[in-house]
Amino acid sequence: MKQILDFSLLKTLTQLPGVSGREEAVQQYLVKKISAAASEIRTDALGNLIITRKGTSGKSVLLCAHMDEVGLMVQHIDDRGFLRFITVGGIDPRTLLAQRVRVQTKTGELLGIIGTKPAHITTEADRAKAIAIKELFIDLGLPAEEVKKRVSLGDVAVLDRAYEEFGANLFSSKAIDNRVGVFILAEILRNLPKPLHTIHAVFSTQEEVGARGATTASYGLQADVCLCLDTTGAADIPGVAVQDFIVRVGGGVGITALDARTITPQPLFNDLVNLCCEKKIPHQIRIAPRGGTDAGAVHISKTGIPSCSLSIPTRNIHSNVEVASKCDVQAMFDLVSCVVNKPWACLEK
């Protein structure tokens, strides 16, 4: 019978601040929410949250979902109190114009607006130009002295946008990349009290800046196979040729054949596809010549761990209006549930 996923948990997770290297709020929330479902729970020096749930088969599966999101870091405060910033992780500057952010300061959050010159005072040529991050600023609406008291260089800002459900089973929010992977992994731990194989669940840090958390977490773990639960850009939008979609929103869980950092070993890839066919789990093949995930770090950890990225197709990825489908979330949950609970060819090799 299908498990009913609690999407209110996903909604909460998307709204927590967790720019790469500043994932504490997400980590602490998860500890409260799922520590009851752990045989062992620990954090490491990079802030990874590592939860082990003992199985009975003698085999172990590493499941990895990164907690961090792309964001901004304050680099300069000008004489009038406007903030200049750099990006943490890949953000297209065009998606930041006229958007709201939440600046995380030592005394709490401040709402900020990324300002833009109105059409009235720009020319057509101005508007046709590419925009650079260094042209943008955050307006906190406060006098400069007040800003300088409350904001420190190095403070981070998250994109600001509420979680909303819309259309045919879709949802949109900031940080779907990768709170949706975190959500599925949390639901796996909460819903499967006695997995067949031991689960090492890693909620990793700093994926968006180069899979840094997964590098140290996987070094400290012994696992027979690894699945990374993450998002991938879905280019299934007008103006893009079908062969360039990568994946389609609503088309099922993405099973990676290749991305810029990994090539999934053939036996693992085949087993995952066969499992989906056998259990009638909607799935699609992800071939993404650009981009990588935590699997890029895990599969070359120590003497190597066979790894595959499973992907939730996500439109407008790395923006504050990322879009994904509940059906794809269910498909990834179903596939991972099967993997940890059945005798699995890949683990016998």
Query: Which residues contribute to the site for Zn ion (CB under 5 A)?
Result: 177-178, 230
Q: How far is the CB of 267 from Zn ion (least distance, A)?
A: 25
| Cβ at position 74, least distance to Zn ion in Å | 23
Residue 22 is which amino acid?
Answer: R
Residue 21 or 112: which CB sits closer to Zn ion?
21
**Of the two residues 71 and 112, which places its CB atom closer to Zn ion in the complex?**
71
The nearest distance, CB 297 to Zn ion, in angstroms, is 13
- Of the pair 155, 230, the CB lying nearest Zn ion is at 230
Least spacing, CB of residue 77 vs Zn ion, in Å: 30
Identity of the residue, 196 or 253, whose beta carbon is nearer to Zn ion in the bound complex:
253
Token pair belonging to 212: 């840094």
Task: Tell me the residue number closest to Zn ion, measured at CB.
Answer: 178
The residue among 112 and 213 lying less far from Zn ion, judged by its C-beta, is 213
Query: 197 or 286: whose CB is closer to Zn ion?
Result: 286
Q: How far is the CB of 293 from Zn ion (least distance, A)?
A: 6
Cβ–Cβ under 8 Å, residues 286 and 276: no
Q: Is residue 233 within 8 Å of 314, Cβ to Cβ?
A: yes
Phi, psi of 191 (to 5 degrees): -100, -10
Token couple for 172? 């949109």
Helices 266-279 and 326-341 cross at an angle (nearest 10°) of: 110
Q: How far is the CB of 56 from Zn ion (least distance, A)?
A: 32
Q: Among all residues, which ones are annotated catalytic?
A: 207
